[in-house]
Amino acid sequence: MKILNLDNRDYHMHSNNFSDWFSSVDEIVRFAGEIWLTEIAITDHSDATLDFFQNQFGFFPSTARYNLAWDRWQNVFNWVNVIFWVEWDLLNENGDTCFTIQWLESDFKILSLHDWIYCWDVKKTTQWLIKAIEKNYNQIKLIWHPCYIWWKSQYYDIKQIVEVANNYNIPLEFNAKNIHRWKTDLEKLDYMLRNADEIYINSDAHTLYDLKESRKFAIKYLKENNYI
């Protein structure tokens, strides 16, 4: 297993400009500099999730236009390199995905599966996720929190996902927020850490506290359990 970002880089977090964090892009970037991060990726949720927020809760996370983040936004606070990606949503049994925010897409995406979007046969979750990987492998930067505990996760075959990810040279994510909050299937995590070729350790931060503490907790977990 090769960990690609044991240094000060974090490639999964959300803003309140376009998603479900408490803080704005500017606040995140300022704080990232304060805790000595050198590179971060703002990976806000896709249009599918934003539409869900609107339909279920009657609000849209932001009135801002996402293209301004790419075309006009610049980091004026510090030397943190800021990247804008999209956290995809798996939509259906055909492996189709939603990969845009306000109809714009980034160069790279995180492939994710959220239970409020994905409403098909849970027993076939793995095969449909594999379809999405096979269709989009050249654009997927990493595969999201695959060891997360949720009611559909019992049907999620980590062995198959690791095998396919390795075949396509796609890193898997050790989700620091979930291990920090004890929402990680430790048996699946152990298999992933021992068999995946490449791993990212990302905060999946939704608060500044997540950003500051979660990756530190995850790295401590790896050391205490002799993974590194």
Q: Per the structure block, which two tokens stand in for 95? A: 């492996």
CB 142 within 8 A of CB 5: no
Is the confidence at residue 194, as pLDDT, over 60?
Answer: yes
CB 22 within 8 A of CB 75: no
Residue carrying the six token digits 């796609």: 170
CB 123 within 8 A of CB 155: yes
pLDDT for the residue numbered 62: 55
Is the confidence at residue 187, as pLDDT, over 90?
Answer: yes
Which pLDDT tens digit goes with each residue over 15-32? 876 666 678 899 999 999
Highest mean pLDDT among 3-12, 46-55, 120-129: 3-12
pLDDT for the residue numbered 31: 98
Q: How far is CA 34 from the centre of its chain?
A: 22
Name the DSSP letter for residue 62: -
| Mean pLDDT over each residue of the chain, to the nearest integer | 84
Instruction: Tell me which of 54 and 91 has the higher pLDDT.
Output: 91
Q: How far apart are CA 186 and CA 193, in angstroms?
A: 10
pLDDT band, residue 117 (cuts 50/70/90): low
Q: How far apart are CA 103 and CA 108, in angstroms?
A: 15
CB 155 within 8 A of CB 121: no
pLDDT band, residue 158 (cuts 50/70/90): very high
pLDDT for the residue numbered 189: 96
Domain boundaries, the chain: 2-224
Q: Per the structure block, which two tokens stand in for 178? A: 């979930």
Report which secondary-structure segment, H or E, holds 134: helix 125-136
Q: How far apart are CA 132 and CA 143, in angstroms?
A: 11
pLDDT band, residue 66 (cuts 50/70/90): low
Three-state secondary structure call for residue 22: coil
Which pLDDT tens digit goes with each residue over 120-151? 666 777 888 888 889 888 888 898 888 888 75
Please give the CATH topology (third level) of the domain spanning 2-224.
Answer: TIM Barrel (3.20.20)
